[in-house]
Amino acid sequence: MPLDPRTVRPGEALPPLTKPPITRETLKAYGPAAGDPNPMHLDDEVARAAGYPGVFAHGMLSMGYLGELLHRAAGGVAGIRRFRARFVRLTWPGDVVTCRGTVTAVRDEDGQRLVDCEIWTEDQRGERKVVGSATLALRT
């Protein structure tokens, strides 16, 4: 359910979104679809040579998941005005990503109800990986 523009208030949680576990196939599909040829996400040897224990997920994959969270909260892509993410920790194959968000401010501007949110992804242990913010414009 999208946020209700009549009742939305700071502190309200966005409906959370849990994605299926990330697999190597998820990464093999995302890279070409996003035009990202970086082998760091596909080849363990390359990732190890750069000092990582193995391949890790594209930061933009997690941001894409957050986009789905925002799309649901706004009730459509037209309701997303601004969307920012910081890639704080890496997400690994086998991780189960849950996207969450909280409303931080509600304001009216040019006849629209604008809703600021803090958003983040967390893994199955509750560790935050990608953190950011967004502004939604809700239809009134």
Q: Which residues bind other proteins (CB under 8 A)?
A: 19-20, 26, 29-30, 32-36, 50, 59-61, 63-65, 67-68, 70-71, 76-78, 80-87
Between 1 and 50, CB nearer to other proteins: 50
* Three-state SS letters, the chain: CCCCCCCCCCCCECCCEECCCCCHHHHHHHHHHHCCCCHHHCCHHHHHHCCCCCCCCCHHHHHHHHHHHHHHHHCCHHHEEEEEEEECCCCCCCCCCEEEEEEEEEEEECCEEEEEEEEEEECCCCCEEEEEEEEEEECC
In the bound state with other proteins, the residue whose beta carbon lies nearer, of 65 and 120, is 65
Q: Quote the least distance from Cβ 84 to other proteins, whole Å.
A: 4
Q: Quote the least distance from Cβ 8 to other proteins, whole Å.
A: 19
Q: Output 7 or 47, the one with its CB closest to other proteins.
A: 47
Q: Which is nearer to other proteins, 78 or 105 (CB)?
A: 78
Q: Output the smallest distance, CB 7 to other proteins, in A.
A: 24
